Amino acid sequence: MNAHRALRHWPVTTRDALPMCLWDAQEIVNATGGVASADFQVSGVEIDSRDVRSGDLFFALRGETMDGHKFIDKAFANGATAAVVDRPVDFPHILVADTHAALEALASAARRRSKAIRIGVTGSVGKTGVKEAIFASLDRGSRGQTHRSVRSYNNHVGVPLSLARMPARSLFGLFEMGMNHAGEIAQLTRQVCPHIAVVTTIAPAHIENLGSEEAIADAKAEIFGGLEAGGTAIIPADSPHFERLRDHALKLGAKVVSFGRAAHADVRLLDSIPSANGGSLVTADLGTTRMCYSVAEPGDHWISNSLAVMAAVRAAGGDLGAAGLALAEMGGLKGRGARHQIKAPGGKALLIDESYNANPASMRATLRALGQTPATRRIAVLGSMKELGDFAPRFHAQLAEPLAEARVDFAILVGEEMRALARDLGKGAANALGNGLSFAHCDGPAEAIAALEEFGVTAGDAILVKGSNSVGLGRLVARFVDQQFVGRDG
């Protein structure tokens, strides 16, 4: 057969009948029950007028303090093709009774029309990083046919928005699910109906609202309630709540796959050694095969994360080789482990940006990673950990030990909750570890910037910046990275 005839006989599949555009007006009407003012096609879906790009569909959502209809003009000025509104406007639109209900309806339509294998990810620590790593692994293997929720779009608006953005031709879909209270993940997982549900770890994040780690485990296990029949639950074998999570999954008819260092883990760590780039070389037993691969991200927690990634990729029928390559090439996310080389007298210093989130488990993990980072001096800028309620003083004070173990030379403690740690460090030699660590306590990021500038950053320093997002330590990162930026690791 010559080349011309081969092209003429190119195989046709059901995917060829799927639309190239994301949505057209009639599809949106069918999904939402709304009324279209015009015929149109859109290439994206957006809820923030500032983020609208040419070709987007803008949902004018109503919030407690804000009404998206006030930003219709700005959305169209930025390139919106049409809007979903609850009142007529002088632009192409779909008129509905409730724009948030319409967004959820469009999300359901996106799920129904796609054959994509959907993966839901939750956990107290690491869910965004694991979601991004699974995405990178599957996207590489599927050659760009993988969709995922961006940033931390993991709540009652972010999840349906992420679903509504999923192209019909996607082969895989990754969706992060977060919560502050019991019952929230149950609602989200019913929208996604994942084929695979991943729980990264259980830690005392949001313990102020839930009261105990057991209650947190129960709330995270809600993700299994939305699993498609015969779905897979991927859970941490090393967690003290392993049996609790496993029992929740089994009661709902899920296949359970565990990951970790424990002997009973289905995806089990056999060995790990530090690699030259600061990451790790990992050998894992997947039951039917063994794999050796590199993890670019530093820290023991990323070794565990990589096992969860491999379990998810295998459950989805993805390419494990591509997953290994993706893990070897991943760089840190902004606010979640990005590593920057910044100018300093005599050369460069390393700044590790973990400014987006913090809880006791992630604080310990990143301080451990800081301690393993080669450096002339180690500096830790730590912001308050929020949503710990009455547990806050104890959890903050307990950071004295990991600070000492990481051999931190200077700590800047930011926020009211950090006073408990400052008091503990102030005892100096009275500490069990004999910790004579130098530190400063600051009320906010402006004082923290001044304290770091006064202490002085020199060549060879490693600076960890970590805290809950509301503390605002991203301002400190911007000050030292954006103004002195000379390069970025990875």
pTM over 0.75: yes
The Cα–Cα gap between 361 and 205 comes to 8
51-74: b or e for each residue (b if 16 or more CB lie within 10 Å)?
A: ebeebbbbbbbeeeeeebbebbee
pLDDT in tens, 425-467: 987 643 344 446 899 999 999 999 999 999 999 999 999 999 9
The Cα–Cα gap between 448 and 464 comes to 13
Q: Which of 30-39, 217-226, 270-279, 413-422 has the lowest mean pLDDT?
A: 270-279
Q: Which long-range contacts (CB under 8 A, 24 or more apart) does 83-92 make?
A: 83/57, 83/58, 83/59, 84/28, 84/32, 84/34, 84/57, 84/58, 84/59, 84/60, 85/60, 86/60, 86/62, 88/37, 92/25, 92/37, 92/38, 92/40
pLDDT at residue 4, rounded to an integer: 65
Q: Is the pLDDT at 395 greater than 60, yes or no?
A: yes
Written as six digits, the tokens of 85 are 């509104």
When the pLDDT of each residue in the chain is averaged and rounded to a whole number, the result is 91
pLDDT at residue 432, rounded to an integer: 41
Q: Is the pLDDT at 194 greater than 50, yes or no?
A: yes
Alpha-helix residue ranges (DSSP H) falling in 330-435: 360-371, 392-397, 400-405, 419-426
In order of 114, 146, 198, 409, the CA distances from 132 in angstroms are: 21, 11, 13, 33
Structural domains in the chain, sorted by start: 20-102 (3.40.1390.10), 114-329 (3.40.1190.10), 338-488 (3.90.190.20)
- Residues 295 and 327: beta-carbon distance below 8 Å: yes
Residue 3 exposed, middle or buried by CB count within 10 Å (0-12, 13-18, 19+): exposed
129 pLDDT band (50/70/90 cuts)? very high
pLDDT in tens, 317-366: 999 999 999 999 988 778 888 899 999 998 999 999 999 889 898 999 99
